[in-house]
Amino acid sequence: MEYLQQLINGLSLGAIYALIALGYTMVYGVLRFINFAHSDVFMLGAFAGYYLGRELPAGTLGGGLFVLLGAMVICAILGVVIEKLAYRPLRGRSTLTVLITAIGISLLLQNTGQLIFGANPKSFPKLFPQQNFTTTGGLVISSDQITVFVVTLVLLAALHYIVMKTRIGTAMRALSFNPTAASLVGINNDRVISFTFALGSSLAAAGGILYALNYPSIDPLMGTLPGLKAFVAAVLGGIGNIPGAALGGVLIGLIETAVVAAGGSTYRDAVAFAVLILILLLRPAGLLGKFQTEKV
Amino acid sequence: MLSRSQYYLIAALVVAFGASWFSRSYNPYFLDIALTCGINITLAVSLNLINGYTGQFSLGHAGFMALGAYSASLMTTNFGGTLLPLVGGQSWMLFPLALYVGGLVAAIAGLLVGGPSLRLKGDYLAIVTLGFGEIIRVILQNIDAIGASRGMIGIPSYTNLFWTFGLAAITIYTVWALVNSTYGRGFIAVCDDEVAAEAMGINTTRYKITAFVVGAFFAGLAGGAYAHFKQYIAPQGFGFDKSIEIVVMVILGGMGRMPGVILAAVLLSILPEALRWFAKSDELTHIIRVLFSWLSPENYAVAAAKTKEVFENRMILYAILIIVLMIVRPQGLFTWTGKRKTT
């Protein structure tokens, strides 16, 4: 029973990592760089939820969903703005230049956040109705954990539909396959990139709110560690690979919970990095990724 | 026969020694800033070898610094009692030994980190080095014998102007001589085009590891000097923020451009003090306060506090600097020619 309980906790943590990891992997797919600022979009999603949640009656299903959608829209807009202002002028420059800019954006969001929201942690409101379900075996599942599972599954299904069935999703896949060829067949690359940022950022916002529901203390630096772990998840699954990111997220969530359950809670933040180093050494393309040789 | 650069090195050491002779008569506040400058120059120049000349983006320099700081401090605090009488109670004989041990520990860590992770490129390498830096911090935080997250106290105050600027001079000389030697052209070749370098018979992995080990060694020395200057070290002080601070110095000065990086290190060491002074001055901050009071018109006092916060939070400034520089002047602030200069 103890194992099953930890499994459920691990899965709910992993689902959140998966949502964030999808943003990393999609941006990497179209632009081939790691969007360091993604973890801070996640943080801003949680703060958007906090401020929206204060205006609405807490503990109702409708209100909670409204807050979730509101935060997703806010962060989608934010993601597009960041891409337009900071990354678009750097199109075609070296990876290092873009990476350094992304670190700059991340620092800017964190520190402006500290200035505006204050550095002290805030307690996140209970957006959804609260109830604990106990099964016959003594398993405890909170309603917030169920929310995490349901929201994640719905979002993953929606993402799958968008990427696989719609025109813009096809364009995204074409762009990540070959940007030059994509623009030759009439795809507006800039628009697709903007859309990818909007999609990734809204998923990060959803992840931020779900994270804050389960760990209801939010502060402007909260994004760093979940963000890094989600990045590890994306690499673990094979960066650029959407199902891989979801799988990696769940695995990282499970591994982290297992380490904590085994008594290594002070090392929980180092575990993800150890996994990253191992995966990069043993299978750099990730679990589901294809290995590519460098062409000159 | 000594070469010209060796004369410069000796001259710099003599000047540092001379300046440090009179250090008691200097204003302690300015002495403090000067020592910070020296340590930051060492850190920035050693990172410049990795990030600039060799083109490998490392985000874990503070981790190496932490290892050096802790090892050197353990040497002087634990073995100081037994070793000092052996050298006649002269701390100037013990201190370089402790620094050297700190540098060696950091260099070994650099070898351990560099070996496996340098098979990676660009952003992957950045993340892995960040990860290593964090792992070092987490491990230090979990060792109770060295104070865990409370930090280490009671480190003797050995660092003076001679040690910091002597160290900076040696670092500058070593990195400069290394990069400008026949052997050292390999670093620049790796940076410019790894595939082409490999095709020319350059062992790129070996060059990358060399850069990492040498960079880590000097970061460790700087860490030791830092510990014996502040007399207190804590794992939190060697986190991601510290690494970023060093990276900003290198980016600001221009990656792979020695004079610019030195200048940037000095500027960024003075900047926090300048900002503090700026935040205190009423006339200078008035304009910004007025701007802030437009945002919250009812409260001038809040605006004043926020202004102070903006000026004291240098990370915001660093962030804006990084973004604007990357878009407008990726070659760094102090470089006027487009091409990298190695001399």
If residue A8 lies in a helix (H) or strand (E), which one and from where to where? helix A2-31
On the question of pLDDT at B201 being above 70, the answer is yes
**Residue A294: per-residue pLDDT:** 56
**Residue A139: per-residue pLDDT:** 82
**Residue B342: per-residue pLDDT:** 44
Residue linked to tokens 């960024």: B268
Nearest C-alpha neighbor of B49 from the set B107, B1, B105: B107
Count Cβ atoms below 10 Å from residue B32 Cβ, excluding itself: 14
On the question of pLDDT at B111 being above 60, the answer is yes
* Alpha carbons A18 and A245: distance in angstroms, whole number: 6
In chain B, the residue whose alpha carbon lies closest to the alpha carbon of A235 is B124
Q: Is residue B276 part of a domain?
A: no
Count Cβ atoms below 10 Å from residue B6 Cβ, excluding itself: 12
On the question of pLDDT at B119 being above 80, the answer is no
* Alpha carbons A290 and A128: distance in angstroms, whole number: 41
In chain B, the residue whose alpha carbon lies closest to the alpha carbon of A90 is B327
For the record, the structure tokens of A154 come out as: 């719905």
Chain B interface residues facing chain A, Cβ-Cβ under 8 Å?
55, 57, 59, 116-117, 119-120, 122-124, 126-128, 130-132, 134-135, 138-139, 141-142, 195, 240, 244, 247, 251, 306, 309-310, 313, 315-316, 318-323, 326-327, 330
* Alpha carbons A268 and B127: distance in angstroms, whole number: 17
* Alpha carbons A255 and A271: distance in angstroms, whole number: 8
* Alpha carbons A229 and A235: distance in angstroms, whole number: 10
Nearest C-alpha neighbor of B35 from the set B160, B194, B158, B201: B160
Contact B55 A105 (CB under 8 A): no
Flag whether residue A195 sits within 8 Å of chain B, measured between CB atoms: no
**Residue A169: per-residue pLDDT:** 92
pTM: 0.83
- For chain A, domain boundaries: 2-125+141-282
Tell me the helix, strand and coil percentages in chain A, rounded to 5: 75, 5, 25
The better pLDDT of the pair B151, A17 is held by A17
For chain A, give the mean pLDDT. 88
How many interface pairs between A and B have CB atoms less than 8 angstroms apart? 111
On the question of pLDDT at B192 being above 60, the answer is yes
* Alpha carbons A12 and B323: distance in angstroms, whole number: 36
Nearest C-alpha neighbor of B292 from the set B309, B313, B275: B309
Residue pair A72/A205 in contact (Cβ under 8 Å)? The answer is yes
Nearest C-alpha neighbor of A234 from the set A81, A22, A48: A22
On the question of pLDDT at B337 being above 70, the answer is no
The better pLDDT of the pair B123, A295 is held by B123
pLDDT tens-digit readout, B37-80:
999 999 999 999 999 898 888 888 999 999 999 999 998 888 87
CA A73, A78, A83, A85 dihedral sign is positive
CA distances from A68 to A16, A47, A109, A236, B8 (A): 14, 11, 21, 28, 64
* Alpha carbons B149 and B66: distance in angstroms, whole number: 13
Residue pair A26/A192 in contact (Cβ under 8 Å)? The answer is no
pLDDT, mean of residues B182-193 = 89
pLDDT band with cut points at 50, 70 and 90 for residue A296: low
Residue pair B332/B313 in contact (Cβ under 8 Å)? The answer is no
**Residue B287: per-residue pLDDT:** 67
Question: What are residue A217's phi and psi, to 5 degrees?
Answer: -135, 110
pLDDT band with cut points at 50, 70 and 90 for residue A192: very high
pLDDT tens-digit readout, B5-17:
888 888 888 888 8
Domain hosting B135: range is 4-256
pLDDT, mean of residues B195-206 = 89
* Alpha carbons B14 and A210: distance in angstroms, whole number: 62
For the record, the structure tokens of B198 come out as: 């490999």
Partner-chain residue, chosen from A34, A108, A273, that has the shortest CB–CB distance to B134: A273
Q: Is residue B10 part of a domain?
A: yes
Least confident of A7-16, A179-188, B315-324: B315-324
Residue pair B62/B136 in contact (Cβ under 8 Å)? The answer is no
Q: Go through chain B and tell me how many residues it has.
A: 343
Least confident of A212-226, B162-176, B291-305: B291-305
pLDDT tens-digit readout, A237-284:
888 888 899 999 999 999 999 988 887 777 777 788 888 878 877 887
Contact B123 A228 (CB under 8 A): no
**Residue B335: per-residue pLDDT:** 67
The pLDDT > 90 percentage for chain B reads 25
**Residue B46: per-residue pLDDT:** 95
Cα B291 versus chain centre, distance: 36
* Alpha carbons A291 and B9: distance in angstroms, whole number: 49
Total number of domains constituting chain B: 1
Question: What are residue B221's phi and psi, to 5 degrees?
Answer: -60, -45
pLDDT tens-digit readout, B134-153:
888 888 988 888 877 788 88
Q: Is residue B13 part of a domain?
A: yes
For the record, the structure tokens of A242 come out as: 């959407």
Assign domain A2-125+141-282 one CATH number from 1.10.10, 3.40.50, 1.10.3470, 1.10.150.
Answer: 1.10.3470
Tell me the helix, strand and coil percentages in chain B, rounded to 5: 80, 0, 20
Q: Are strands A122-123 and A217-218 parallel, antiparallel or unpaired?
A: antiparallel
pLDDT tens-digit readout, A60-111:
888 889 999 999 999 999 999 999 999 999 888 877 788 889 989 998 999 8
Beta bridge partners of A217: A123
On the question of pLDDT at B341 being above 50, the answer is no
On the question of pLDDT at B117 being above 70, the answer is no
Nearest C-alpha neighbor of A42 from the set A99, A94, A93, A110: A110
pLDDT, mean of residues B316-321 = 82
Q: Which residues in chain B have Cβ-Cβ distances shorter than 8 Å to A103? A: 59, 244, 247, 322
**Residue A218: per-residue pLDDT:** 92
pLDDT, mean of residues A31-51 = 91
Least confident of A36-50, A92-106, B309-323: B309-323
On the question of pLDDT at B338 being above 60, the answer is no
* Alpha carbons A190 and A83: distance in angstroms, whole number: 10
The pLDDT > 90 percentage for chain A reads 45
* Alpha carbons B101 and B118: distance in angstroms, whole number: 25
Nearest C-alpha neighbor of B259 from the set B14, B52, B29, B74: B52
Residue linked to tokens 């487009």: B338
Q: Is residue B273 part of a domain?
A: no
Partner-chain residue, chosen from A86, A107, A280, that has the shortest CB–CB distance to B120: A280
In chain A, the residue whose alpha carbon lies closest to the alpha carbon of B113 is A277
Q: Is residue B152 part of a domain?
A: yes
The better pLDDT of the pair A41, B283 is held by A41
On the question of pLDDT at B310 being above 80, the answer is no
Q: Is residue B328 part of a domain?
A: no
pLDDT tens-digit readout, B71-81:
999 988 888 77
Nearest C-alpha neighbor of A41 from the set A52, A49, A53: A49
* Alpha carbons A208 and B200: distance in angstroms, whole number: 49
**Residue B56: per-residue pLDDT:** 86
